[in-house]
A and B are shown apart, each in its own frame.
Chain A
Amino acid sequence: MRNRIFLPCALLAALLPGLAGAEPVTIRAADNEMTAAFGNVPKPVPLNEMITLQLTLSHSGAPVEAKSVEITGQRLYSKNGLPTAPSISATGQPGGWRIEGLRFHISGPWRLTLRITSATGVSEIVLPLEVK
């Protein structure tokens, strides 16, 4: 049974180059209760290509129905922010969000910050990325 599950996943990874170099990343907010689990963060993030990230937000282990999620990005050691205005929308899955239209136009270290407003208040999740 396990092989039947793994084989399609391996085929999927081989057929979808963007996912082949991606890995799941989980980040906890400073308040230690809000968590963002990113399912497919490219490693490294490609320079100047539009990418989509999917994530699941949870609070104290349970999916969060966030009221809003705002996203900003900053290239470290420079004044540069994101060159595009990515959209972030709920996927309809519990705690599920999709970020579309992300692009990084300068290589190097970036910080992607999600500001999440939910019934429990406002949390910030910072996702570090390396763009090459």
Chain B
Amino acid sequence: MCFAANGIESARGPGRFALWTPTLLAAAALALAPALGQKAPEPEWSEAELEIIATLTLDKLPPPPPDPSNKYAEDPKAADFGHRLFFDLRFSSNGKVGCVTCHDPEKSFTDGKRFSQGVGVTPRNAPTVIGAAWNFWFLWDGRADNHWAQALAAFENPLEHNMSRQDIVRVLREHADLRRDYETVFGTLPALEDADGVNRAFANIGKALAAYQRHLRPGQSKFDRYAQAILAGREPAPKDQFTLDEREGLHVFISDQRGKCLRCHNGPLFTNQHFHNIGVNGRQGEEHEAGRLKGIETARASPFNCSGQYSDAQPQQCLELRFARRATPELLGAFKTPTLRNLIKTAPYMRDGSQRTIHDVTWHYRDRPAARTGASELENFTITGAEFEQIDAFLRTLEGGIDAPARYLRAPHAQGQ
């Protein structure tokens, strides 16, 4: 017996309509299911696709890598002190700015603004610090090579906290609670005239902040639960079932011929941790930012880098700094690839906040604007507008909240206690 797809050929003999009817009905149901609001049967994922999907799930994310430059990275007391520092507004020239100002837990540790506002308006959209412990480089242009140096850059930036390192130590000395908390972890505060001591105390503040932020990791998302189910060969739970658009979006996302997204957004955190020029041109008047080309030189020159005297690392442990690419054309106008997890609360997007919605982001890749500085890497995409929308749908499945001790997601006890 042979059943052709168009139903022309059929089994001979009695009951042939009884054989045809369920086949036709099944085919009709398959075609009509999306229109009826039902989930279409799971398309089969190829072995190669499943292999790729397996690399993207959060259960592939190892514990935060060791940071040899910060001997306090795993110290619970340092993390608690860092938590208090994160929410403290006293470390700013106007007494109104803290780390939390631009990195609000309620907004997945961003601030919802196009350009972040500290003491002044910065030229940057604040990236999240969730998952930052896994970063190779820090800040959009990678001018910090370790987690604690990133915090220090913000303190001394006149548009952010607008403090000198002596100002920071002065605040520590002048407030009994801060002095007590600092000295519990790091020992006696230096005198303000002790320049090296001030530098070291300044570095210690960064190290405490980094120790706290190591506890902030992305939470399990619908994508993770869906992926874990299909990789285990079982049906996802009803709430984790992917819609047709979400599934197609994932297909396109992981395809090296179609979406090509994995070239930059790979691994459990959906970032390759590298720097790319994708034609995001920055705030008006700042279109000629050099990006990573200058950022790496700033990192190399910093006294707070991994190989500096305030680092706890041996020089041979500073592999990122040692093998960093420098002075090559592709670094001009290149900025760090951000994570794609938890996008829903972290709008707007890109280093200049120029994309208001996830839809706008996908359209940026479709439109491929020219870079005003350097050359954009974006290639022509052979995917349709509908497929870009499906990528949008998939990206929303990466929303998973924050996996962190609950107390670390809110302000600690009132300041001054």
Chain A residues within 8 Å of B, Cβ to Cβ: 47-48, 50, 75, 77-87, 100-101, 103, 105-108, 132
Contacts and interface: CB of A to CB of B under 8 A. Distances in A.
B323 A84 contact: yes
Interface residues of B, number: 22
A106 B379 contact: no
Secondary structure at the A interface, as helix, strand, loop or mixed, is loop
Contacts of A80: 263, 377
Interface stretch (B39-47, B192-200, B266-274): B266-274
Interface string B32-62: 0000000000000000000110010000000
A83 to B, nearest CB: 5
Given A50-B319, A105-B272, A106-B272, A83 B325 contact: yes
B51 A106 contact: no
B229 interface: no
Contacts of A132: 51, 55
Contacts, number: 55
A107 B379 CA distance: 17
Given A84-B325, A106-B272, 11 more contacts: A48-B273, A50-B323, A79-B377, A79-B379, A85-B324, A101-B322, A103-B323, A105-B272, A106-B263, A107-B52, A107-B262
Given A47-B55, A79-B377, A105 B274 contact: yes
Interface string B354-396: 0000000000000000000000010100000000000000000
B47 to A, nearest CB: 13
B323 A48 contact: no
Interface in B306-337: 319, 322-326, 330
A132 B47 CA distance: 14
A103 B323 CA distance: 10
B318 to A, nearest CB: 11
A81 B272 contact: no
A82 B266 contact: no
Given A78-B379, A83-B274, A132-B51, A107 B323 contact: no
Contact of B323 (A77, A79, A81, A87): A87
Contacts of B330: 79, 81
B48 to A, nearest CB: 10
A101 B326 CA distance: 14
Interface string B252-285: 0000100010111011000011100000000000
B291 to A, nearest CB: 14
Given A79-B377, A81-B330, A108-B256, A86 B323 contact: yes
Contacts of A108: 256
Given A106-B262, A106-B266, A77 B256 contact: yes
